[in-house]
């Protein structure tokens, strides 16, 4: 566009200063000059606006196409993430249900009084794990914490209330939402690999909420079998779910020191 305008100006100057004085009388020069500048300015404006319109049209069409492609890409990424989150969620804690059902079977032989309570707790946890999330794949934080309490109680029933567990909850859980089974999986991991039989070294579970920040901690003594095992599929899947659901909004640290294991999760809800 600048090149064309420059050419028009150069051509107008040549006509004005070189051609007109040579071809026409001085008396006619004023008339031709006005006429020349009229046409030159008109054509310049027309060409300029025409090129500007063409450029603007091409620019906005390209921008619109890029926006459409961006929206489609974001929708595809969201669909992939949601599908992966759902797939990972369905893989979590299968051994927990298996072991618990075995416990119910053993208890049912003697018609234990704990059976009905255990069945109720298990049904609540299973219902929560399967279909208790919303359209964004999240649940209220107090529901997640309630399932942790159910899980603790259920395991106490399994082991005749001989487990040493300390659960500490601070802050207001209302109006906060979280991807389900994140915290519960960490608790399950502590039960699976922890030695909870010593009252001097109980499993410590701390949940603290301040504004939109959640601090979750577990600290437990490791059982002898845990020293020979690595983290299971539940823990690795939960790490993956955190990366998908809370990119740049979480910090997960673990410490495996001798006989003790600790975990701290800082999550921006």
Residue 152 has pLDDT above 90, yes or no: yes
Residue 106 has pLDDT above 80, yes or no: no
Residue 79, CB-side half-sphere exposure with 13 Å CA sphere: 6
Q: CA 116 → CA 157, 176, 209, 221, 263, distances in Å? A: 11, 32, 33, 31, 33
**Can you give the pTM of this predicted structure?**
0.61
DSSP element (H, E) containing 26: helix 26-91
Cα 118 from Cα 100, distance rounded (Å): 9
Name residues whose C-beta falls within 8 Å of residue 172's C-beta, 6 or more positions apart in sequence: 209
Q: Scanning the structure block, which residue is given the tokens 């020349």?
A: 36
Q: List, for residues 170-196, the tens digit of each pLDDT value.
A: 999 988 999 998 999 999 999 999 999
Tokens read off for 159: 């082991």
pLDDT band at 156 (very low <50, low <70, confident <90, very high): very high
Q: Which residue did the predictor score with more confidence, 240 or 205?
A: 205
pLDDT band at 98 (very low <50, low <70, confident <90, very high): low
Q: Is 206 exposed, middle or buried (0-12, 13-18, 19+ CB in 10 A)?
A: middle
Tokens read off for 234: 């539940």
Name residues whose C-beta falls within 8 Å of residue 219's C-beta, 6 or more positions apart in sequence: 203, 204, 260, 261, 262, 263
Q: List, for residues 125-137, the tens digit of each pLDDT value.
A: 877 877 656 767 8
Q: Which residue did the predictor score with more confidence, 258 or 109?
A: 258
Residue 85 has a pLDDT of 73
Q: CA 53 → CA 7, 31, 41, 62, distances in Å? A: 19, 33, 18, 14
Residue 129 has a pLDDT of 77
What's the average model confidence in pLDDT over 144-166? Answer: 94
What's the average model confidence in pLDDT over 220-245? Answer: 76
């Amino acid at each position: 566009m600048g090149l064309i305008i420059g050419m028009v100006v150069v051509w107008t100057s040549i006509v004005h200063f070189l051609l007109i004085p040579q071809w026409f009388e001085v008396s006619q020069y004023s008339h031709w000059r006005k006429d020349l500048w009229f046409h030159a300015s008109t054509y310049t404006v027309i060409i300029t606006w025409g090129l500007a319109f063409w450029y603007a049209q091409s620019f906005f069409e390209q921008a619109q196409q890029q926006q459409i492609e961006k929206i489609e890409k974001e929708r595809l990424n969201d669909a992939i993430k949601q599908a992966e989150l759902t797939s990972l969620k369905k893989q979590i804690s299968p051994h927990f249900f298996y072991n618990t059902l075995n416990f119910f079977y053993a208890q049912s032989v003697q018609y234990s009084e704990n059976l009905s309570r255990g069945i109720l707790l298990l049904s609540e946890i299973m219902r929560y794990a399967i279909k208790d999330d919303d359209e964004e794949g999240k649940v209220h934080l107090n529901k997640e914490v309630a399932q942790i309490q159910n899980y603790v109680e259920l395991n106490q029933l399994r082991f005749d209330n001989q487990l040493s567990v300390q659960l500490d909850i601070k802050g207001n859980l209302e109006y906060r939402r979280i991807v389900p089974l994140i915290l519960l999986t960490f608790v399950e991991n502590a039960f699976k690999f922890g030695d909870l039989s010593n009252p001097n070294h109980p499993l410590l579970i701390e949940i603290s909420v301040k504004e939109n920040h959640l601090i979750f901690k577990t600290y437990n003594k490791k059982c002898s079998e845990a020293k020979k095992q690595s983290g299971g599929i539940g823990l690795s899947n939960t790490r993956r779910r955190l990366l998908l659901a809370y990119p740049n909004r979480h910090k997960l640290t673990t410490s495996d020191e001798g006989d003790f294991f600790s975990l701290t999760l800082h999550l921006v809800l």
